[in-house]
Structure 1
């Protein structure tokens, strides 16, 4: 499991005083950086090897400016060319949002998916947690 701390910015607050719903996918992406490094250690976008096939965010609580957010990231499933990341955002110890992202190993030159290597699967497996939401 990876755990990242996010400090909400004032500009991410909506007129109702909540963190805007469009912010969570951005925070979840930022918290996936350790996983991105399995594929592109220096995070060079010209050597990127992943695409997103699906993103889901479920809001289960309110998030506010002025309190840090903890994002927990696990690998939920590993397939032959794709894998599922599950993420949870907590503020003041309360679960506020759940995210699921399907990422696909991709060959940008051939414009096609590519089978995950044994090394990539092994790195992901170190963070695999079964029976998640």
Structure 2
């Protein structure tokens, strides 16, 4: 499991005083950086090896400015060329959002998916959690 602390910015707050719902996918992406490093250790965009096939966010509680958010990231499933990341956002020990992202190993030159290598699968499997929420 990877854990990242996010400090909400005032600009991410909407007129109702909540963190805007468009912010969570951005926070979740930032918290996926440790997993991105399995594929591109220096995060060089010219050497990128992943694309997003699906993103979903379920909002289960309110998020507010003024309190840090903890994003927990795990691998939920590893396939032959894709994998699923599950992320949870907590504020003041309350689960506020649950996200899932499907990432695909991709060959940008050939414009096609590519099988995950045994090293990539091994790195992902070290963070595999099988209990689903």
Identify the TM-score tier after normalising by the shorter chain: over 0.9
Aligned to 1:71: 71
- Within 5 Å, give how 1:8-87 maps onto structure 2: 8-87=8-87
Map Cα deviations across residues 50-97 of structure 1 (whole Å, 9 max, x no partner).
000000000000000000000000000000000000000000000000
**Structure 1: segments with no counterpart, 5+ residues:** none
**Structure 2: segments with no counterpart, 5+ residues:** none
Aligned to 1:106: 106
Q: In 2, distance between residues paired with 1:45 and 1:10?
A: 29
Q: In 2, distance between residues paired with 1:73 and 1:28?
A: 8
Q: In 1, distance between residues paired with 2:131 and 2:60?
A: 19
Q: CA RMSD in A?
A: 0.3
User: Normalised by the size of structure 2, how large is the TM-score?
Assistant: 1.00
Q: Give the drift of 1:131.
A: 2.2
Q: In 2, distance between residues paired with 1:131 and 1:19?
A: 28
Off by >2 Å, runs of 4+ in structure 1: none
Tell me the matched-pair count: 133
